[in-house]
Amino acid sequence: MMLYFILGAAFIGVACLVGGVATFMFRSEGSAEVENRLDVLTGAVAAPGSKDKKSEALLLASPLNDVPNFLEEQIKQWFNVRAFLQQADVALTPSKFFLISGLLTAGGVLLIPLAGAPVYFAPLGAILGVLPFAGLHFKRKSRLGAFAKQLPEALELISRALRAGHSLASGFKLVGDEMDAPIGTEFNRCYEAQNLGIPLEEAIEEMTERVPNLDLRFFATAVTLQRQTGGDLAEILDKIGYLVRERFKIWGAIQALTGEGRLSGIVLLALPPSLFVVMWRLNPNYCMTLFTDPMGHQMLAGAIVLQVIGALVIRKIINIKV
């Protein structure tokens, strides 16, 4: 009973510590930053780097309380958490994302002893902290895939609007009104940005940063060149849409041809862990050698390394870029 009480108190303490640190990081520079932005908006001071129109547009477009904290600035050198959350279309700040991941990690570590498992399995509970990232990664991938499938139809819609005599901005508004999310949301956001004074080229460039899609980048480049040099933009959009559709056909054929390889990879990667769970259930003492004997530690580490290498090799074989 005392052990459960100690573990529960440790969990509450770690949760409070993580929450306090996240709150401190989030609010450490928030007040000063909000005051500075209010001064810029009211004209009391000049915007820093006011010659950079893109920086000024981002300053006016972002929320006043959305301030990067110290942890986010450090991680941004390797991984842009804010852009990742934006691409997944999740209404979470990086601070809340870090807080949720930290609480799940601490809870997973403490859950293993509470469930009656050996204490040396506790580090495995930290895998729970990866669940928010895995869920957002899946949602981001699904959203970007849906955007790519909708893009040819959107380009053809803009092309027909241009031939009917509408402006390019009106074509963006038409896509935002007539098409579903995510492409309708992104094009409508782009239209509203240029409607508030941001040049259309910069609004499209910001959209390509929110949606890292190669075909969308082609579209942005075509629009920029056409506005600078002239030309028939409707015909260009038709050709880009046709190219995207043909590439999707090739991609579907490749997916059908590599289906057997993907299924084989899933079976081969899932077989060792599944057999380990079965053996642990039938004869736990037989599997304990992997955790008690030094040679067992080496064998376990070697098996994990070989599993990772095998997964990377199989992924490299079946992942054919179109």
Q: Could you give the domains of the chain?
A: 2-134 (no CATH), 140-255 (1.20.81.30), 258-318 (no CATH)
Q: What's the gap between Cα 33 and its chain centre?
A: 26
Question: DSSP string spanning 11-33?
Answer: HHHHHHHHHHHHHHHHHTTHHHH
Q: How far apart are CA 91 and CA 64, in angstroms?
A: 15
What's the pLDDT tens digit per position in 97-136?
A: 888 888 888 888 888 777 776 666 677 777 888 888 888 9
What pTM value is reported for the model? 0.66
Lowest mean pLDDT among 5-19, 95-109, 255-269, 294-308: 5-19
With 80 as the cut, is the pLDDT of residue 146 above it?
yes
Q: How far apart are CA 215 and CA 208, in angstroms?
A: 10
Q: H or E segment at 281?
A: helix 259-282
Q: How would you label 62-75 residue by residue, b for 16+ Cβ within 10 Å and e otherwise?
A: eeeeebbbebbeee
pLDDT of residue 175: 93
With 60 as the cut, is the pLDDT of residue 144 above it?
yes
- The structure tokens listed for 132 are 């928010």
What's the pLDDT tens digit per position in 177-218?
A: 999 989 999 999 999 998 888 888 899 998 998 898 888 998
pLDDT band at 74 (very low <50, low <70, confident <90, very high): low
Query: Nearest 5°: phi and psi at 71?
Result: -65, -40
pLDDT of residue 176: 92
With 70 as the cut, is the pLDDT of residue 9 above it?
no
CA torsion, ordered 167, 172, 178, 181, to nearest 10 deg: 180
Q: Identify the CA nearest to 103 among candidates 2, 6, 28, 22.
A: 22
Q: Identify the CA nearest to 155 among candidates 213, 250, 240.
A: 240
pLDDT of residue 188: 92
Question: DSSP string spanning 155-212?
Answer: HHHHHHHHHTT--HHHHHHHHHHHS-TTHHHHHHHHHHHHHTT--HHHHHHHHHHHS-
